[in-house]
Amino acid sequence: MKTEKTTTRREFLGGVAALGALGLTGHPGFAWGQESARKGSRPASKLPARGEFVIRNAYVMTMDSATGDLPGADVHVKHGDIVEVGKELRAPGAQVIDGRGMIVLPGFVETHWHMWNTLLRSMSGDKREHGYFPTAASLGKVFAPEDMYQGTRLAAAEALNCGITFVHDWCHNIRGAEYAEADLRALRETGIRGRFSYGAPQGHPATETIDLADLERLHRDWKSHSNEELLALGLAWRGAFTDPKTMIPTDAARKEFDAARRLGMPISVHVSNARARAGQIGVLAKESFLGKDVQLIHAIWVTPDEIRSVAAAGSPVTFSPYTELRIGFGFPATGEFLAAGITIGLSVDTTALSGNADMFAIMKAIQNVENAKSENEFKLPARRVLELATIEGARSMGVDDRVGSLKPGKRADLIMVNTREVNLGVFSEPAHMLVEAAQPSNVDTVMVDGRILKRRGRLTAIDVEQTVGEASAALAAVRKRAGWW
Ligand SMILES: [Zn+2]
């Protein structure tokens, strides 16, 4: 591998020109950011146009089982589509991106994340009354729509910086129509792909449904929110149980579930995340609450019978190892579900517990926990974990026809990882390097739907100082309103 110094002047200037075309002429800075938060924010990003690019001479991991890895290969992207993947592609007129020293792979697919919680990063405290659930509930209740916007925008910026190109925004604090609107605005402005799942506000009585009329309205008007179909709408279902002991589904739960099914919306639910909630999957199966359209979150305390019923129904599962470990839910049952042929995605869940949204670390935790549990060095190979973070995650979200692998005809969601950094040299076994050694700082370039949103290690369209400054001001105001010190 040649060094970065061999970057040609033409290629370098090409990169600079691209940034110029994005309108990146400095940033207003931190002071402006705080001022803006008081007045109401303005977008911290302006999305670049989808261009025509060819990434040359990269180590391309297509994550497509038929194609596999292609060393020294090119990826040609035009107007958001992957045109071709292969060696020495003809792409006259395309802007050339030097791929030497880079691993190119599909962007990571994140599958369950309370993005608004990013305003509460690392705020789950050390006493029961300051644990994750009371903290999110107490502060969530005093959130204004603008705070939802600030938390989700910061989360989306972090996602893109880490190489996550798809998020499942599990929005469980919709206190009125304007809350969903604000959250969606943040997703749209950042240009990320994802599913927005509509959820109950914090503190909502379990016996009352969410505002189903508002959910229907959003569904009806979805075209105006979808950002040219980058975003889809789902239901963040609270689940069937008010009392984990009796486990009798409430009328409200049934109404919400039926409404989502009637509207053709995918459903997602937290389940069996503690010993006291064991048996929930069995009840969901009995009550016909499972299916390909119903994603199960955590699913840690499960029996072999329950796993069989999940497999039979086709429900995908998502694990968020850092929150599951940090809060003491238990260990992800990755091996058991994979052995049953169940589709698994990986997730952040909440940075109030996990601290960050590092998908490299999530992959590493999933592998290490599984190998430790099974006392087997070879139980969960790195490449399999990488599949969970890309193509299988996409399958679990029902978007594998569009993203999750690098294949002609799919949309161009991809990342470039710089292997010349000190924690990644030397180039050895790429799947192992990504799962065991790589960090978000190694993500050189991120493309979503053909738009370059990170280049040479910097976000191109998001003003980070403004985003962090405004979020900090929003959190200070939230804490004040809640009397939370
Ligand atoms: Zn969750």
Omega before 426 within 30 of 0, i.e. cis: yes
State the distance from the centre of ligand 1 to the C-alpha of 350, rounded, in angstroms.
7
How far is the CA of 265 from the CAs of 60, 216, 220, 294, 439, in angstroms?
34, 11, 12, 10, 34
CA distance 273 to 350: 15
Sorting pLDDT into bands at 50, 70 and 90, what band is 3?
very low
Distances (CA, A) of 353 to 4, 118, 270, 435, 440: 37, 10, 16, 21, 18
- Quick one: pLDDT band at residue 469, thresholds 50, 70, 90? very high
Out of 104-108, 273-277, 414-418, which region has the weakest mean confidence (pLDDT)? 273-277
Whole-number Å distance, alpha carbon 428 to ligand 1 midpoint, is 36
How many whole angstroms from 227 Cα to the centroid of ligand 1?
25
How far is Cα 14 from Cα 92, in angstroms, rounded to an integer? 15
Position 25 pLDDT exceeds 70: no
For residue 183, is pLDDT > 80?
A: yes
Q: How far is the CA of 319 from the centre of ligand 1 (A)?
A: 10
Centre of ligand 1 from the C-alpha of residue 297, in Å:
7
Helix, strand or coil for residue 108? Answer: strand
Distance 320 CA to ligand 1 centre (A): 8
Once rounded to an integer, what is the mean pLDDT over residues 454-479? Answer: 97
Output the pLDDT for position 41.
61
Residue 240, pLDDT score = 77
Distance CA 195, CA 265 (A): 10
pLDDT band at 361 (very low <50, low <70, confident <90, very high): very high
Question: Mean pLDDT, the chain, as a whole number?
Answer: 91
pLDDT (tens digit per residue) in 62-88: 999 999 999 999 999 999 999 999 999
Pick the closest to residue 116 from 42, 199, 158, 172 (CA basis): 172
- The letter for the amino acid at 344 is I
387 pLDDT higher than 90? yes
Q: How confident is the model at residue 241 (pLDDT cuts 50, 70, 90)?
A: confident
| Residues 392-427: tens digit of each pLDDT | 999 999 999 999 999 999 999 999 999 999 999 999
pLDDT (tens digit, 9 = 90+) per residue, 34-60?
A: 334 444 567 777 899 999 999 999 999
**How many A from CA of 3 to the centre of ligand 1?**
42
Helical pair 145-162 and 177-190, crossing angle rounded to 10 deg: 30
With contact defined as beta carbons under 8 Å apart, do 290 and 262 qualify?
no
At 414 the three-state DSSP class reads strand
Rounded mean pLDDT, 450-455: 98
Q: How far apart are the C-alpha atoms of 403 and 407, rounded to whole Å? A: 9
Instruction: Write out the two tokens for 15.
Output: 């990169």
Pairing state between β 458-459 and 69-78: unpaired
pLDDT at 94 over 60: yes
pLDDT (0 to 100) of residue 441: 98
Asked if 311 and 304 touch (Cβ cutoff 8 Å), the reply is: no
User: From ligand 1's centre to the CA of 324, what distance in Å?
Assistant: 10
d(CA 269, ligand 1 centre) in Å = 8
Nearest alpha-carbon partner for 158 in 7, 354, 21: 354
pLDDT of 265 > 60? The answer is: yes
End-to-end distance of the chain based on CA atoms, in angstroms? 52
Asked if 203 and 175 count as a contact pair (C-beta separation under 8 A), the reply is no
Q: Is the pLDDT at 467 greater than 60, yes or no?
A: yes
The confidence band for 276, taking pLDDT boundaries of 50, 70 and 90, is confident
Q: Quote the ligand 1 centre to 114 CA distance (angstroms).
A: 6
The structure tokens listed for 125 are 């405290």
**Could you tell me the distance, in angstroms and rounded to a whole number, from the CA of residue 268 to the centre of ligand 1?**
10
Residue 361 alpha carbon to ligand 1 centre in Å: 18
Does 22 have pLDDT greater than 90?
Answer: no
Give the residue, 366 or 251, on which the prediction is more confident: 366
Among 199, 214, 219, 213, CA closest to 117:
199
Please name the amino acid found at residue 31: A
Which among 273, 320, 264, 272 has a CA at the least distance from the CA of 292? 264
Confidence of residue 246 (pLDDT cuts 50, 70, 90): confident
Q: Is the pLDDT of residue 20 over 50?
A: no
> For residue 1, which of 73, 74, 55, 58 has the smallest C-alpha distance?
58
Q: What's the 272 CA to ligand 1 centre distance in angstroms?
A: 12
Give CA–CA dist 332/371, Å, rounded: 11
Q: Three-class SS of residue 236?
A: strand
Question: What confidence score (pLDDT) does residue 242 get?
Answer: 67
Question: CA 359 to CA 348: how far, in whole Å?
Answer: 8
More confident residue, 103 or 43: 103
Q: Which pLDDT score is estimated for 75? A: 98
Given a cut of 90, whether residue 32 has pLDDT beyond it is no
- pLDDT tens, position by position, 300-338: 999 999 999 999 999 999 999 999 999 999 999 999 999
